[in-house]
A and B are shown apart, each in its own frame.
Chain A
Amino acid sequence: QITLKESGPTLVKPTQTLTLTCTFSGFSLTTSGVGVGWIRQPPGKALEWLALIYWNDEKRFSPSLKSRLTITKDTSKNQVVLTMTNMDPVDTATYYCARYASGSYFYWGQGTLVTVSS
């Protein structure tokens, strides 16, 4: 059974750095073709793709957010960490991590709501 779960702060202040951890089970991030990505959704708005890390440690980022994002993996812990710098109230959203393969996100975490406010 494949599961993913996001963890991190629910409230961050403007200009702070957000660090989110995705802890997964049921698959390995050393399997060829597999990746873990991050997607966010502001309240009442559409999904927005943020970043993806592949099994071979290649990384891809949304061009509009690339300068603010970092993604890393720890295969021994089955974790992927996303950091986003210089948080702003417009970054308030539910952040999801999901398992990527064959061009799609087959399995999703439950999401974690992050509010940016002073």
Chain B
Amino acid sequence: QSALTQPPSASGSPGQSVTISCTGTSSDVGGYNYVSWYQQHPGKAPKLMIYEVSKRPSGVPDRFSGSKSGNTASLTVSGLQAEDEADYYCSSYAGSNNPYVFGTGTKVTVL
């Protein structure tokens, strides 16, 4: 099972928006509405930001939003803030025999 493809980096100025893509196949992203996004600051454990494509766990700001079209999912961070600078990973359910696959990760820089 190959990792989902993400751009290595993305950036934006404070207050701007940044969108990260996550490309998979019809066997994972395109086949199920179980796409998640995780934020990871250096030296810290990942934190769930989006689940089931577009749902936010309690406590996650509504500046974070998720969507999906075909085999590609996207995370948009609006109104960028300094604390949003982190690595972001997408993931997807990929079937009962290999139920989980992560993306390659994107480093978001707030300029």
Taking Cβ atoms with an 8 Å cutoff, the residues of A that contact B are 37, 39, 46-49, 52, 60, 62-64, 96, 102-106, 108-111
Interface of B is mostly: loop
Is B89 touching A103 in the complex (CB atoms < 8 A)? no
Chain B interface residues toward A at CB < 8 A: 1, 3, 32, 34, 36, 38, 40, 45-48, 51-52, 57, 89, 91, 93, 96-105
Whether the pair B46, A103 counts as a contact (CB closer than 8 A) is no
Minimum CB–CB distance for A83 against chain B, Å: 19
Given A103-B34, A104-B34, CB of A49 within 8 Å of CB of B100? yes
In the complex, the answer to whether B52 meets A104 with C-beta atoms within 8 Å is: yes
Closest residue of B by beta carbon distance from A58: B96
**How far, in whole Å, are A47 and B89 apart by their CA atoms in the complex?**
8
CB atoms of A103 and B36 under 8 A apart: yes
Look across to chain A and name the residue whose beta carbon is closest to the beta carbon of B95: A60
Q: A103-B36, A108-B46 are in contact. List 4 more A-B contacts (CB 8 A).
A: A46-B103, A60-B98, A60-B99, A111-B45
Q: Which residue of chain B has the shortest Cβ distance to A35 in the bound complex? A: B99
Q: Which residue of A lies closest to B45 (CB)?
A: A108
Shortest CB-to-CB span from A72 to chain B, Å, is: 18
B1 x A103 contact (CB < 8 A): no
Which 3 pairs show the lowest CB-CB distances between chains A and B?
A: A103-B34, A104-B51, A49-B100
Provide the residues of chain A in CB contact with B3, threshold 8 Å.
46
Question: Contacts of B32 on A, CB cut-off 8 Å?
Answer: 103
Which of B36, B47, B91, B99 has the most CB atoms of chain A within a 10 A radius of its CB?
Answer: B99
Q: Which of A64, A96, A104 contacts B36 (CB 8 A)?
A: A104
B45 interface neighbour in A46, A60, A102, A109, Cβ under 8 Å: A109
Complex interface: chain B residues within 8 A of A102 (CB): 34, 51-52
